[in-house]
Structure 1
Amino acid sequence: MADALEPEQLETYFALMEAVSLLQHAVEQQLRAEGDLSYVQFQLLARLAGAPERRLTMTELADGVVYSRSGLTHQAGLLEKAGLVTRGPSPEDQRSTLVTITEDGVARVDKVLPGHVRVARGLLFDPLSDRDLHALGDIMARVRDHMRAQPPRSAASRRRAT
């Protein structure tokens, strides 16, 4: 059957999905326990903390985080309410919303980062040799780049209900 995955492909797919789920669950638990953050909120804060002038437009954040625009707006609102970011119009383009991490936001990232690194290292990197790490990095970068080259969901044609 042309639409079926080969046994090795299927085994690899399920191993990848299980590993991602286990890692994401452990990371979510650590972020909630140590910083009262979801993984998406952590991603947003970490990207902002590493950005020039510690600010990005919502579009720039959306380009780096795989999350719906409405969900991203909601998460940014929660972070703003918690005092971890501010939002406002961009001075360069009034149509763009600029998100800036606050000092409290930077402090929250600094608080959770050591635990985040500990979880990632313990679950993902410790069982790998240097050679494994290099190979996995190359493979995942290639897969990621291939996926990012596909048209975004928003560009997909929509079928009308008949």
Structure 2
Amino acid sequence: MDPRWLDATEKAAWHAFVSTFHLLERRIEEQLKAAAGLTHPQYEILVRLSAAQDRQMRMTELARDVVASKSALTYQITQLEKAGLVERAHCPSDERGVLAVLTDAGMRCLERAAPGHVEVVRAYLIDRLSREELHTMTTAMRKTERALRSSH
């Protein structure tokens, strides 16, 4: 069976998405490195932990939330642990489970990095779109996210 090639409209949408994603990711990485010495995945881990109850999450849940493989998350947690931003702890309800715990130093690091991060996200994405465009983008990306998550 022949592939369904993208038509001009579909190709334009795909190319715009890919270019924008890579350019924005590069700006975010630059800002986070300069502000706190973090990668974007590390920043997202700190954000998720800061919002979790007791600033801790099971590693499996954290991997799902930050969309990382278990091995990629383990690597990032190891780097954050070496920097004193995260600690690992045993899960009291499951002896095989491991928790990632945000340290006070990790919270301070996040507080330093967050204002600049939000500034970049606003300057290059959020403030460039109308409320209607933001709603449309959210709806479209959530459809794609659901399809991707349900295919595993």
With normalisation by structure 2, the TM-score equals 0.95
What do residues 63-83 of structure 1 show as CA deviations (whole Å, max 9, x unaligned)? 111222112101101111111
Percent identity reads 36
* 3-state SS, counterpart of residue 126 of structure 1: helix
Match of 1:142 in 2: 143
Partner of 1:60 in structure 2?
A: 61
Q: How many residues align?
A: 151
| Separation in structure 2 between the aligned mates of residue 133 and residue 70 of structure 1, nearest angstrom | 33
State how far apart, in whole Å, the 2-side matches of 1:94 and 1:2 are. 48
Whole-Å separation in 2 of the counterparts to 1:148 and 1:90: 26
**Stretch moving more, 109-118 or 123-132:** 123-132
Q: Which amino acid in the other structure matches residue 54 of structure 1?
A: R
Unmatched tracts of structure 1, length 5 or more: 152-162
Alignment match, 2:20: 19
The runs of 5 or more residues in structure 2 that have no matched partner are: none
The answer for the alignment partner of 1:70 in structure 2 is 71
Normalized against structure 1, the TM-score is what? Answer: 0.89
Equivalence for 2:8:
7
Q: Distance in 1 between matches of 2:9 and 2:147?
A: 20
Once superposed, which parts of structure 1, at least 4 consecutive aligned residues long, lie more than 4 Å away? Answer: none
| 1:102 aligned partner, one-letter code | T
Distance 1:140 1:121 in 2: 18
CA shift for structure 1 position 89: 1.5
- AA aligned to 1:11 is A
Cα displacement (A) at 1:88? 2.1
Alpha-carbon distance in 2 for matches of 1:9, 1:78: 39
For 2:141 and 2:47, locate their aligned partners in 1 and report how far apart those are by CA, in whole Å.
Answer: 21
Alignment of 1:34-113 (within 5 A): 34-113=35-114
CA RMSD of aligned residues (A): 1.1
Q: Distance in 1 between matches of 2:45 and 2:121?
A: 18
Letter in 2 for 1:117: V
Residue 122 (structure 1) aligns with: 123
Between 1:50-59 and 1:139-148, the stretch displaced more is 139-148
Shifted more, 99-108 versus 140-149: the winner is 140-149
How far does the alpha carbon of each residue in 1:15-74 deviate from its partner, in whole angstroms, 9 at most, with x for none? 101010011000000000000000111011110000011100110111111222112101
Q: What residue identity is the alignment partner of 1:108?
A: C
